[in-house]
Amino acid sequence: MKSLWIETTKDEIILNPLEKDKETEICVIGGGLFGLTTAYYLTQQGKKVIVLEKGEIGEKVSGNTTGKITSQHGLFYEHLINDYGKEYAKKYLEANEEAIENIKEIIKKEQIECEFYKQNAYVYTMQEDEVIEIQKEVEAVKELGKEAEFVTQTELPFKIKGAIKFKEQAQFHARKYMIGLCKAILKQNEIYAYTTVTDVVKEEDKYNIYTDRGNVKAKYVVIATHYPIINMPGFYFTKMYQSTSYLIAIETDKKLPQGMYISAKEPIYSFRTATYNGKQILLIGGSEHKTGKAIEDNSNYKELEKKAKELYPDCKILFKWNTRDCISLDKIPYIGEYSNIMKNMYVGTGFKKWGMTLSNIAGKIVSDKIMGKENKYETIFNSTRIKPIKNRWEVKNMVEETVKSIVLNKFKIEPEDLKQIENDNGAIIEINGENIGIYKDPQGKIYAVKPNCTHLGCLLTWNNLDKTWDCPCHGSRFDYMGRNIYEPAIKDLEIKNIK
Quick: pLDDT tens for 77-123. Answer: 999 999 999 999 999 999 999 999 999 999 999 999 999 999 999 99
Question: What CATH number does the domain containing 301 carry?
Answer: 3.30.9.10
- Residue 387: its pLDDT value, please? 64
Q: Decide if pLDDT at 13 tops 90.
A: no
Same domain, 301 and 255: yes
Q: Which of 343, 358, 390 is the last residue of a domain?
A: 390
Domain contains 94: no
Task: Report the 10 Å Cβ neighbour count for 101.
Answer: 12
> Which of helix, strand or coil describes residue 8?
coil
Q: Does one domain contain both 299 and 344?
A: no
Same domain, 197 and 154: no
Give exposure, 294-304, as e/b (b: 16+ Cβ within 10 Å): bbeeeebbebb
> Is 88 within a domain?
no
Residues 285 and 433 occupy one common structural domain: no
Q: Are residues 51 and 132 in the same domain?
A: no
Q: For residue 496, what pLDDT is reported?
A: 81
What pLDDT is attached to residue 354? 92
Question: Does residue 347 lie in a domain region?
Answer: yes
Q: Is residue 350 part of a domain?
A: yes
Query: Do the beta carbons of residue 96 and residue 168 sit within 8 Å?
Result: no
CATH number, domain containing residue 356: 3.50.50.60
Q: What per-residue confidence (pLDDT) applies to 65?
A: 92
DSSP symbols for 443-486? T--EEEE--B-TTT-PBPEEETTTTEEE-TTT--EEETTS-EEE
**Domain match, 379 and 398 both:** no
Clarify whether residues 293 and 218 are in a common domain: no
Question: How far apart (Å, rounded) are the C-alpha atoms in residues 38 and 36?
Answer: 5
**Of 323, 356, 372, which residue sits at a domain end?**
323
- Both 277 and 415 in a single domain? no
Confidence (pLDDT) at 24: 97
- Nearest-angstrom CA–CA distance, 289 and 286: 9
Q: What is the DSSP string of 406-450?
A: HHHHB----GGGGGGSPTTEEEEEEETTEEEEEEE-TT--EEEE-
- In this structure, is residue 108 part of a structural domain? no
Say if residue 251 is in the same domain as residue 316: yes
**Containing domain of residue 459, as a range?**
394-486
pLDDT of residue 383: 85
**CATH code of residue 411:** 2.102.10.10
- Kindly report, residue by residue over 297-352, the tens digit of the pLDDT: 678 889 999 999 999 999 999 999 988 888 888 899 999 998 888 899 999 999 98
Residue 134 lies in a domain: yes
Could you give the C-alpha distances from 184 to 39, 213, 416, in angstroms and in order? 10, 25, 58
> Which pLDDT value is given to residue 488?
87
The mean per-residue pLDDT over the stretch 190-198 comes to: 95
| Residue 495, in any domain of the structure | no
Whole-number Å distance between alpha carbons of 213 and 301: 38
Question: Measured in whole angstroms, how far is the alpha carbon of residue 239 from the centre of its chain?
Answer: 16
Looking at the structure, tell me whether residues 410 and 373 fall in a common domain: no
User: Are the CB atoms for 291 and 402 separated by under 8 Å?
Assistant: no
pTM of the model: 0.88
Q: Tell me which of 402 and 154 has the higher pLDDT.
A: 154
What's the number of domains the chain is made of?
3
Q: How far is the C-alpha of 427 from the C-alpha of 418, rounded, in Å?
A: 10
Which pLDDT belongs to residue 414?
55
Radius of gyration of the chain (CA): 23
Averaged pLDDT for residues 255-267: 94
- The per-residue pLDDT for range 144-166, each reduced to its tens digit, is 999 999 999 999 999 999 999 99
Helix (H, G, I), strand (E, B) or coil at 318: strand
Whether 313 is covered by a domain: the verdict is: yes
Same domain, 166 and 254: yes
- Per-residue confidence (pLDDT) for residue 456, from 0 to 100: 82
Same domain, 428 and 412: yes
HSE value, Cβ hemisphere, 13 Å, CA-based, for 361: 34
Share of the chain above pLDDT 70, in %: 93
